[in-house]
A and B are shown apart, each in its own frame.
Chain A
Amino acid sequence: MTDTPLAISLRGLTKTFGKVVANDHIDLDVRTGEILALLGENGSGKTTLMNMLSGTYQPDEGSIWIRGRRVNIRSPREAIDLGIGMIHQHFKLVDVFTARENILLGQKGRSAAPDEIVGRLQLSIDLNKKVYNMSVSEKQTVEIIKVISRGADILILDEPTAVLTPQEIDALFDLLRLMKQEGKAIVIITHKLEEVMAISDRVAVLHRGRNVGSVQTADADRFLLTEMMVGRQVGLSIQRAPMQAGNTILDIHQLKVLGPEGQPELQKVSFTLRAGEILGVAGVAGSGQRALCESIAGLQEIAGGSILLDGKRIDGLSPREIIKRGISMAFIPEDRLGMGLVGSMDIPDNLLLKTYRDQPGVLLRRKAAREEAQEMIDRLDIATPGLSTPVRKLSGGNVQKVLLGREINLSPRVLITAYPVRGLDIGASMTIYDMLNEQKQKGVGVLFIGEDLDVLLSLCDRIVVLSGGKVTAIVDSKFATKALLGMKMTGLATDKEDAYA
């Protein structure tokens, strides 16, 4: 292995954003014909590092060598000229164009023919299909063909599996292996250990912006990698609190929600949530999770069906009317600073969001909120420089603690959480799971929209699987497997009766 030529060498790469050191003197080598997994938690600096390779960012310090030549990559264009192709998490495709048009877009006759690449890599894709008709994995394939046609022999994939089903992931990995045999250098950014073990030859682990070491995948095991990733020993097991399920609190019946363009986002969605249970919602990103949460919380209009809370209909009510009727429902949205909190305000002011209206008179009193904030900082161990620090300056985990802490303090009967641990490190995630379990044991009905199937299986009592806006299964997590969930997530269930196991 060591005698293969180096595709990429990075030395001392440093990038800061204000006070935040995203990359701290990182050294890294990638060889041709190897798949390197760049592993790290969210916020550890993986994407920043790769963005410096793809010309999006300029390093503050340090140097880059590509195939032994020192280079200065000042724009994505220069990166492409050097044969570096990055496949971003969010695809950059023109929806109304076909795959072929997208691939040829902006190329001046120097590209390899798309058909040739499709044949060589044994891809099953219709190049004449319009992008808006494509599934997520097809779009990803188009992106890959696009960068290869531009002559890329260094491929960087940023969390390519986040939006794929297990079956699609397998297909992607087959493709990556094929390209590796062609002698391409491949870097795959991920925070999922299973994928590292499955696909990579070597792993480099980033932790808080530093490269904490590289190991051959064959010599690594999950616990070693986890330790490197979080910088300390962590128990990987999530406890499922014993369930004493009570009555049905939330009853979703034949719910139908339309998107902004009139396309159905949810169809015939029915399920119930009982007091004292955690009900998981599994599904590929974009299967209607957001519409589900927001329609229950009164933030999105519904087009049909009903939502009953304690037997009373709440659909059609705005958040304001829901609060006015004394219905205690808490909602932790997925984009915490985009909805739920005000980033530029401090913790006390954010705590006031849902209670300020109860204060008598026209003046706003902050004393109680300040005390509540201090108490919450101590109890939940929120790391903050002070009470008056704007919440956007806190780390993701601490922001989530503020939001969850505020909602729990309102003693809700129903708690809706959308991806509550997204972007959080393992320690903070465990705290959040503990908080959810605690609520469950208090008799709160918790709806948990999740992405990691392992977490869903070990934390939730039952799991609803969404696929393309429809419920494809409702399973007891004690008897469910990842493979089953994965299959239901693709919507492959042929037999409808069978789906409601």
Chain B
Amino acid sequence: MPDKRMHGGFHVVQRGELPQLKTWLYRLLAVLGALTTGGLFLLMLGFSPFSVYGTMLRGSLGSAGMQKETIKLMIPLCLTTLGVALAFKMRFWNIGGEGQISAGAIAASYFAYFHSDWPSWLLLTVMALAAILAGGLWGLIPAWFKTRFGTNETLFTLMLNYIVLYLITYLREGPWRNPEGGFAMTPRFPKQARLPEVMFPGVGNIHIGWIVMFVAVAAMFVYLRHTKQGYELTVVGENERTARYAGMPVGRIVMRTMFISAGLCGLVGMMQVSGPDRQLTDAVANGRGFEAVSVAWLSRLSPIGIMVVSFLFSVLEKGCSMMQTEFRIPASMSDILQSIILFFVLGSEFFIQYRIVRRKEARL
């Protein structure tokens, strides 16, 4: 007698192609599932999830002032993600956004501190260019080693982060320490070295970075879809052997792409020190280089998607700081929620590709 329990049963089967709409529905369900799980977590802590989530929404989007803060969080996150996503598209795992932002910030700060006699437009332009160059060169190091010696870029970019991060600490405590302050801090930027503010429709004045962000999203869209360079880096990412076969200079493409990727991160560094921070601090990158990795994955490397996801992440972050003041829940809740969302959405990819079925039996 065949054992009934042994035969049949559930198992995992690969799916055919799901329609676009359905895959997005799955992802939406995943986000809802994540929020529910986060809610249960809050419930366990003794809070009502609805009032906490409500506060978070109010705290991030409730007023023009809140919206302004949220957008200010979004600008660096979105730009950093655009940067790392470009490298990811080439299957180059740049997790060195932190270091590249910091390198850009240091280069920009140098001009802010030592060339403050220049006219503002010139100073800001030079700061931006120096930041792009510094970030880009910092990113070129792992790229060069990878093309030359085949080193692993993940580890390489990660370790390079710490060098610049501690370089900032050194500068803050040593050569660039503000002689007038009691704490080990860098001086504030002179007025000419601060980014001008521009009216964001319906919200108010925000530093010019928001325009840079929108331009960068559009530029990245065009670059990836409609330029030869974007085509090249996609081919290299998808199939390096084919790229060589087609006569593409693979090494040069890797270095060029990584320079642009890291240069964008460097620019973020300049905009942070010269925009909201107004001085060089070791929190200039503040984990954005890593957060950008999550955003890049969730948005599937699409520039529009990056804008949307980085906005949602900023809402979460801003909302959680409000939650902290109102409910005294630590702001790390924001990180926990982000991680849960990431976990759920990446998990939903499994159900997009596979389904679980029960096997039908046949008779002899």
Residue numbers of A with Cβ under 8 A of B are 9, 11-13, 16-19, 25, 58-63, 65, 70, 72, 297, 299, 318-320, 322-324, 331, 333, 337-345, 349, 352-354, 356-357, 359, 362-364
Could you write out 22 A-B pairs with CB less than 8 Å apart?
A: A17-B14, A18-B16, A58-B359, A70-B2, A72-B7, A323-B247, A331-B245, A338-B242, A339-B242, A340-B242, A341-B239, A342-B234, A342-B235, A342-B239, A342-B242, A343-B239, A344-B238, A345-B234, A359-B228, A363-B226, A364-B226, A364-B231
Apart from A9-B364, A60-B11, A354-B247, list 5 A-B contacts with CB within 8 A.
A18-B14, A63-B363, A341-B239, A341-B242, A343-B238
B249 within 8 A of A: yes
Which of A60, A320, A338, A352 sits near B239, CB closer than 8 Å?
Answer: A338
Contact in complex: B231, A62 (CB < 8 Å): no
Contacts of B11 in A (CB 8 A): 58, 60
Contact in complex: B362, A345 (CB < 8 Å): no
B21 within 8 A of A: no
Contacts of B242 in A (CB 8 A): 338-342, 353
Per-position contact with A for B202-239: 1 when CB-CB < 8 Å, else 0?
A: 00000000000000000000000011111100110011
Contact in complex: B228, A12 (CB < 8 Å): no
Rounded to whole angstroms, the CA-CA distance of A83 and B360 in the bound complex is 25
Interface centre among B13, B239, B241, B246 (most CB of A within 10 A): B246
Contact in complex: A320, B245 (CB < 8 Å): no
Main secondary structure of the interface of B (DSSP, over half): mixed
Known: A18-B16, A340-B245. A357 touches B228 (CB 8 A): yes
B44 within 8 A of A: no
Known: A9-B364, A18-B16. A363 touches B227 (CB 8 A): yes
Q: Which of B324-361 contact A (CB under 8 A)?
A: 357, 359-361
Contact in complex: A61, B231 (CB < 8 Å): no
Contact in complex: B228, A356 (CB < 8 Å): yes
Known: A70-B7, A297-B245, A362-B227. A60 touches B238 (CB 8 A): no
Rounded to whole angstroms, the CA-CA distance of A239 and B11 in the bound complex is 49
Residue pairs across A and B with CB atoms within 8 Å: the count is 105
Which of B227, B249, B362 sits near A12, CB closer than 8 Å?
Answer: B362
Rounded to whole angstroms, the CA-CA distance of A331 and B247 in the bound complex is 12
Contacts of B244 in A (CB 8 A): 299, 319
Measured CB to CB, the closest approach of chain A to B2, in angstroms, equals: 5
Contact in complex: B13, A60 (CB < 8 Å): yes
Contacts of A16 in B (CB 8 A): 13-14
Which of A9, A61, A70, A322 sits near B247, CB closer than 8 Å?
Answer: A322
Contact in complex: B245, A19 (CB < 8 Å): no
- The 4 tightest CB contacts between A and B, nearest first, are A12-B362, A19-B16, A320-B247, A11-B362
B15 within 8 A of A: yes
Measured CB to CB, the closest approach of chain B to A416, in angstroms, equals: 12
Which of A63, A299, A343 sits near B362, CB closer than 8 Å?
Answer: A63
B45 within 8 A of A: no
Measured CB to CB, the closest approach of chain B to A384, in angstroms, equals: 14
Residue of A nearest to B362 (CB): A12
Rounded to whole angstroms, the CA-CA distance of A18 and B18 in the bound complex is 10
Contacts of A58 in B (CB 8 A): 11, 359
Contact in complex: A63, B16 (CB < 8 Å): no
Rounded to whole angstroms, the CA-CA distance of A339 and B240 in the bound complex is 8
Contact in complex: B245, A339 (CB < 8 Å): yes
Residue numbers of B with Cβ under 8 A of A are 2, 6-7, 11, 13-17, 226-231, 234-235, 238-239, 241-242, 244-249, 357, 359-364
Measured CB to CB, the closest approach of chain B to A5, in angstroms, equals: 14
Residue of A nearest to B239 (CB): A342
Contacts of B238 in A (CB 8 A): 342-345
Contact in complex: B364, A18 (CB < 8 Å): no
Residue of A nearest to B13 (CB): A60
Known: A17-B14, A320-B247, A354-B246. A11 touches B363 (CB 8 A): yes
Contact in complex: A320, B248 (CB < 8 Å): yes
Contact in complex: B231, A63 (CB < 8 Å): no
Rounded to whole angstroms, the CA-CA distance of A94 and B1 in the bound complex is 41
Rounded to whole angstroms, the CA-CA distance of A297 and B16 in the bound complex is 37
Rounded to whole angstroms, the CA-CA distance of A319 and B357 in the bound complex is 48
Contacts of A65 in B (CB 8 A): 364
Contacts of B7 in A (CB 8 A): 63, 70, 72
Measured CB to CB, the closest approach of chain A to B180, in angstroms, equals: 50
Known: A72-B7, A338-B239. A299 touches B249 (CB 8 A): no
Measured CB to CB, the closest approach of chain A to B242, in angstroms, equals: 5
Contact in complex: A299, B231 (CB < 8 Å): no
Measured CB to CB, the closest approach of chain B to A287, in angstroms, equals: 22
Interface centre among B16, B227, B229, B364 (most CB of A within 10 A): B364
Known: A353-B246, A364-B228. A63 touches B361 (CB 8 A): yes
Contact in complex: A362, B229 (CB < 8 Å): yes
Contacts of A63 in B (CB 8 A): 7, 361-364
Residue of A nearest to B7 (CB): A72
Residue of A nearest to B248 (CB): A320
Contact in complex: A364, B230 (CB < 8 Å): yes
Residue of A nearest to B9 (CB): A72
Contact in complex: A61, B360 (CB < 8 Å): yes
Contacts of A340 in B (CB 8 A): 242, 245
Residue of B nearest to A341 (CB): B242
Contacts of B235 in A (CB 8 A): 342, 345, 353
Contact in complex: B359, A319 (CB < 8 Å): no
Contact in complex: B14, A319 (CB < 8 Å): no
Rounded to whole angstroms, the CA-CA distance of A343 and B242 in the bound complex is 10
Measured CB to CB, the closest approach of chain A to B343, in angstroms, equals: 25
Measured CB to CB, the closest approach of chain B to A338, in angstroms, equals: 6
Rounded to whole angstroms, the CA-CA distance of A338 and B240 in the bound complex is 9
